[in-house]
């Protein structure tokens, strides 16, 4: 027997490794991709299905090629890349956020940008500040605004997607809104690939969280905040609050974003409290962008913005996580309440400046 | 499971079955034994014998200067002298070497008359004389816990043994149930406590049955069955689970003294028969072909034990004194078994599987002290002592959970130990700087 010395205890590790976690996540994503392609096949026909399939494949190949070439330049072999860099995850997530009509060269460009500028330049997996898939997605979105505008066919006419239609209706559901809520949930209108598979995403997310692949705290607080805000927004504006909530949750890739992009551990705070607060913040930002900027990609932008704020959130949770628990719970509730109030004030058209000048006028 | 605090505990695959029901190997005392002059972390001993002296089992050979802990010879024979050799704490330490004459002559170390009648104070003095050290692995002098017993109402016997692989406590409790209860009752008398609790893990059906049969005869003793999770054997967590009490520094604040099960058994034998701890059951386990429990003389070199148990596996291993979670790995097998070493774990060296930290926060979710190991690790990499202090590194208990749980196989606990050392060095530097400044001031004044 030969004895080696190990500088620090313990010498016992649990079985599951990062690559097992990534493998299960990848399986979940592939299940969703297969569903998405199948869905396109049944609802829109084989041409569209092939197109979606091609988007997935092209994104993956481009991304993989980028990683391998980069690996060659930095003396890392293929196996090591697969085991330590997990190059297959980013392109799939990226491809999901695209509209099914995206031209192929844009798909490839975006996948390259995502992998290169989102991940590799920071030093690879674990070092990146932003969610790589989102980096690629947002760059191409800003560079090719018209090509990236998703459209759907209704009664043989090209029309805006439910998300952009809702955006032009100032993001709350009213009678002028032509889309049926149930159909939005089912995804029959199309739009971005993710928007077609709301229910499967939830199922896969539940499975993955049961397998403890990721922490649900963040995703649920994100979704919960959006739900609460949408509910109260509906009440304030006098539309059906439940419908309003359902539409807000289902559109714009929110569910996919919350489960598969926002919760990417690399770009989130590490403490449970930080995660929950982070989710609330993202929910607020999403609703702010939706209502104020009238922009269908609110989810993507807000996730990116919050990725930047991770150190700030880490700084809030100093020391031990079991201290000041009551204060922390109060803070969380207050954060949700504040977010709701702000959004409600904004959508109700209440202008603080006008109000102040009015008060000023009365006083003088 | 707290929303903001995480899980704290978790079931580990324990590998206890491979040694639990195996017959115990009785190992004869070797020709030479080495008694380490170490008690927990302390090494300040007065040596009471010199080379050439004859000793019997129970002859006091050394005594710790502070705290008054005696050490006894565990074989009869002749003192050879002292020798510096590698100790299980990974530092070279002084050992007293005794040449065994294999006669096992014995002198009692304490007065064993009327144990059941004598006063509390008398019992305490006798307990002190036995020189017990916490046999769960800490090596803390047992009697120290009984110096102030005004508010103590419960003695909690820790038979949890939450580290994987180790079964020595389990087997000892099964074989010496009577002594366990007797030791507990003696402890309760010394501390004037009304209640005794014996805590074991769920799933130990056989042991549970034996204990439950015995507990009928003892109205004020309870058996507590706790979940099979790590780190249940940690005092604070055990008390939190069994009595739902929280304390700041010491369990005595909430009226509880915690002792290891094997300590209670040793106390019973010590007071009733005047015996020091001469033998100890050691679990030799891990990734080896024939793991076992072996009954050895205290002071036997591990090398001899491995020879005797015929442990010869091929390959690279970590040789660990203690369990795989908290035990230290040693370079060679020359160190000896002390009375408080319950296991030798031999783990095969895994291939390097580390991946970058993905900030998953599992370590934060599982830390039983609710620390944030990943952030401590990053602060340590940046050598940011202020941040380290803010993250409360000092309260880490070295349980090893964060490294265990990390899916990227990062040695998080190692970084945390480094961080602790950094803070200690920093504090020492500040102290000396302070002193220098003061002395300079004095000089200026005078
Ligand atoms: S468990 Fe490991 S990978 Fe996860 S945050 Fe902690 S150190 Fe990083
Ligand atoms: S070793 Fe320290 S930091 Fe790591 S889990 Fe245990 S107590 Fe927490």
Q: Where are the alpha helices (DSSP H) in A176-271?
A: 181-186, 198-210, 216-237, 241-250, 254-256
- With b for 16 or more beta-carbon neighbours within 10 A and e for fewer, the B49-78 pattern comes to beeeeebbbbbbbbbbeebebbbbbbbbbe
B400/A9 touch (CB, cutoff 8 Å), yes or no: yes
Nearest CA to ligand 1 atom 7: B374
A2/B359 touch (CB, cutoff 8 Å), yes or no: no
A206 C-alpha to center of ligand 2: Å?
30
DSSP conformational letter for A76? -
Optimal mutation site among B13, B284, B355, B369, interface A, most CBs of chain A within 10 A: B355
Nearest to A10 among B317, B374, B413 (CB): B413
B356/A126 touch (CB, cutoff 8 Å), yes or no: yes
Do the beta carbons of residue A190 and residue A96 sit within 8 Å? no
Tell me the nearest-neighbour CA distance from A282 into chain B, angstroms.
18
B4/A275 touch (CB, cutoff 8 Å), yes or no: no
For residue range B394-406, what is the model confidence (pLDDT) as tens digits?
899 999 999 999 9
Can you give the pLDDT at residue A166? 62
**Chain B partners within 8 Å of A3 (Cβ):** 316-319, 329-333
Tell me the nearest-neighbour CA distance from A15 into chain B, angstroms.
8
What are residue B86's DSSP bridge partners? B92
Can you give the pLDDT at residue A362? 59
Distance CA A83, CA A76 (A): 11
State which residue of chain B sits closest to A212, comparing Cα positions: B362
Can you give the pLDDT at residue A360? 61
Ligand 2 — pocket residues by CB below 6 A? B 367-369, 371, 373, 396-402, 413, 416
Closest C-alpha to B352, from A80, A322, A327, A363: A80
Can you give the pLDDT at residue A287? 87
Can you give the pLDDT at residue B313? 86
**CB–CB contacts below 8 A, A to B:** 178
Per DSSP, the residues of A245-307 read HHHHHHGGGHHHIIIIITT-GGGS-SSHHHHHHHHHHHHHHHHHIIIII--TTHHHHHHHHHH
* CA separation, residue B119 to residues B126, B192, B264 (Å): 11, 11, 19
* CA separation, residue A52 to residues A33, A101, A190 (Å): 9, 8, 12
For residue range B27-75, what is the model confidence (pLDDT) as tens digits?
999 999 999 998 877 888 999 998 999 999 999 999 988 888 899 999 9
Residues of chain B with pLDDT under 70: 1, 445-446
Can you give the pLDDT at residue B14? 86
Give, for all 364 residues of chain A, the pLDDT tens digit.
888 888 888 888 888 888 889 999 999 999 999 998 988 888 888 888 898 999 999 999 999 999 999 988 887 788 888 888 889 999 999 998 888 888 899 999 999 999 999 999 988 888 888 999 999 988 988 888 777 666 554 544 455 566 666 655 555 555 555 566 666 666 666 667 777 788 889 999 999 988 888 888 999 999 999 999 988 888 887 777 888 888 888 877 888 889 998 988 899 999 999 999 999 999 999 988 887 776 666 888 899 999 999 989 888 888 888 888 899 999 999 999 999 988 888 877 765 555 556 666 655 5
SS3 state at B328: strand
Distance CA A40, CA A44 (A): 5
Distance CA B326, CA A128 (A): 33
B395 C-alpha to center of ligand 2: Å?
9
Place of tokens 């592939």: A30
Tell me the nearest-neighbour CA distance from B134 into chain A, angstroms.
21
Tell me the nearest-neighbour CA distance from A81 into chain B, angstroms.
11
- ipTM score for this prediction: 0.86
State which residue of chain A sits closest to B311, comparing Cα positions: A1
**Chain A partners within 8 Å of B11 (Cβ):** none
Can you give the pLDDT at residue A32? 92
- pTM as predicted: 0.88
Distance CA A236, CA A258 (A): 26
Q: Which atom of ligand 2 is nearest to the CA of B369?
A: 7
B155 C-alpha to center of ligand 2: Å?
27
- With b for 16 or more beta-carbon neighbours within 10 A and e for fewer, the A149-178 pattern comes to ebbbeeeeeeebbbbbbbbeeebbbeeebe
Nearby residues of A290 by Cβ (< 8 Å), 6 or more positions away: A167, A171, A248, A252, A296, A298
**CA dihedral sign, ordered B224, B229, B230, B236:** negative
Can you give the pLDDT at residue B416? 94
Q: HEC string of B63-126?
A: EECCCCCEEECCCCEEEEEEEEEECCCCCEEEEEEEEECCCCCECCCCCCCCCCCCCHHHHHHH
A4/B390 touch (CB, cutoff 8 Å), yes or no: no
Ligand 1 — pocket residues by CB below 6 A? A 270; B 357-363, 373-374, 405-408, 410, 412
């Amino acid at each position: 027997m030969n004895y080696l010395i190990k500088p620090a205890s313990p010498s016992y590790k649990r079985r599951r490794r990062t690559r097992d976690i990534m493998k299960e996540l990848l399986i979940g994503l592939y299940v969703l991709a297969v569903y998405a392609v199948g869905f396109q096949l049944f609802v829109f026909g084989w041409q569209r299905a092939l197109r979606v399939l091609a988007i997935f494949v092209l994104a993956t190949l481009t991304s993989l090629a980028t990683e391998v070439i980069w690996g060659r330049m930095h003396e890392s072999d293929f196996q090591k890349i697969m085991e330590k860099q997990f190059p297959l995850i980013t392109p799939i997530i990226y491809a999901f956020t695209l509209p099914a009509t995206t031209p192929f060269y844009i798909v490839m460009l975006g996948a390259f940008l995502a992998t290169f500028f989102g991940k590799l330049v920071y030093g690879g997996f674990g070092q990146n500040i932003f969610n790589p898939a989102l980096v690629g997605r947002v760059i191409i979105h800003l560079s090719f605004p018209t090509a990236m505008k998703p459209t759907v066919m209704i009664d043989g006419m090209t029309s805006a997607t439910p998300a952009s239609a809702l955006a032009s209706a100032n993001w709350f559901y009213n009678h002028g809104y032509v889309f049926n809520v149930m159909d939005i949930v089912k995804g029959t209108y199309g739009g971005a690939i993710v928007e077609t598979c709301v229910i499967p995403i939830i199922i896969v997310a539940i499975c993955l969280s049961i397998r403890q692949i990721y922490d649900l705290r963040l995703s649920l607080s994100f979704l919960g905040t959006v739900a609460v805000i949408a509910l109260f927004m509906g009440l304030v504006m006098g539309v059906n609050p439940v419908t309003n909530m359902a539409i807000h949750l289902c559109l714009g890739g929110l569910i996919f974003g919350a489960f598969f992009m926002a919760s990417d551990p690399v770009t989130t705070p590490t403490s449970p409290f930080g995660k929950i607060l982070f989710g609330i913040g993202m929910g607020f930002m999403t609703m702010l962008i939706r209502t104020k900027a009238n922009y269908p990609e609110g989810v993507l932008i807000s996730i990116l913005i919050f990725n930047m704020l991770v150190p700030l959130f880490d700084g809030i949770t100093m020391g031990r996580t079991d201290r000041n628990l009551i204060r922390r719970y109060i803070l969380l509730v207050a954060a949700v309440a504040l977010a709701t109030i702000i959004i409600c004030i904004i959508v109700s058209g209440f202008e603080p400046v006008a109000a102040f000048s009015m008060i000023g006028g009365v006083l003088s | 499971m707290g929303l903001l605090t995480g899980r704290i505990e978790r079931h580990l695959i324990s590998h206890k079955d491979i040694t639990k029901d195996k017959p115990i190997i009785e190992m004869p005392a070797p020709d030479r034994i080495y008694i380490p002059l170490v008690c927990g972390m302390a090494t300040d001993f007065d040596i009471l014998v010199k080379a050439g002296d004859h000793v019997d089992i129970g002859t006091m050979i050394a005594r710790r200067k502070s705290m008054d802990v005696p050490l006894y010879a565990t074989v009869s024979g002749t003192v050879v002298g002292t020798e510096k050799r590698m100790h299980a704490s990974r530092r070279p330490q002084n050992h007293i070497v005794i040449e065994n004459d294999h006669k096992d002559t014995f002198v009692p170390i304490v007065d064993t008359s009327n144990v059941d009648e004598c006063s509390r104070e008398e019992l305490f003095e006798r307990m002190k004389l036995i020189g017990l050290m916490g046999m769960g692995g800490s090596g803390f002098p047992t009697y120290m816990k009984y110096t102030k017993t005004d508010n103590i109402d419960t003695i909690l016997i820790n038979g949890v043994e939450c580290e994987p692989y180790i079964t020595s406590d389990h087997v000892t409790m099964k074989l010496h149930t009577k002594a366990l209860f007797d030791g507990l009752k003696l402890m309760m008398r010394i501390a004037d406590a009304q209640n005794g609790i014996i805590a074991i893990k769920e799933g130990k059906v056989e042991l549970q049955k034996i204990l439950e049969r015995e507990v009928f005869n003892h109205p004020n003793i309870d058996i507590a069955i706790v979940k099979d999770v790590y780190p249940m054997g940690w005092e604070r967590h055990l008390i939190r689970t069994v009595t739902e009490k929280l304390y700041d520094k010491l369990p005595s604040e909430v009226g509880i003294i915690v002792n290891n099960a094997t300590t209670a058994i040793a106390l019973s034998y010590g007071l009733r028969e005047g015996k020091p701890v001469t033998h100890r059951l050691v679990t030799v386990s891990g990734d080896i072909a024939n793991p076992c429990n072996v009954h050895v003389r205290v002071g036997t070199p591990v090398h001899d034990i491995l020879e005797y148990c015929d442990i010869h596996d091929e390959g690279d291993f970590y040789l660990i004194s203690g369990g795989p979670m908290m035990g230290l790995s040693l370079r060679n097998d020359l160190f000896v078994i002390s009375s408080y070493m319950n296991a030798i774990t031999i783990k095969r060296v895994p291939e390097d599987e580390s991946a970058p930290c993905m900030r998953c926060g599992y370590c934060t979710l599982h830390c039983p002290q609710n620390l944030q190991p990943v952030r401590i690790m990053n602060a340590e990499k940046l050598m940011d002592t202020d941040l380290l202090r803010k993250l409360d590194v000092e309260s880490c208990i070295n349980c090893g959970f964060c490294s265990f749980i990390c899916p990227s196989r990062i040695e998080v606990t190692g970084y945390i130990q480094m961080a602790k050392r950094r803070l200690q060095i920093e504090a020492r530097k500040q102290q000396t700087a302070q002193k220098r400044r003061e002395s300079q001031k004095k000089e200026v004044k005078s």
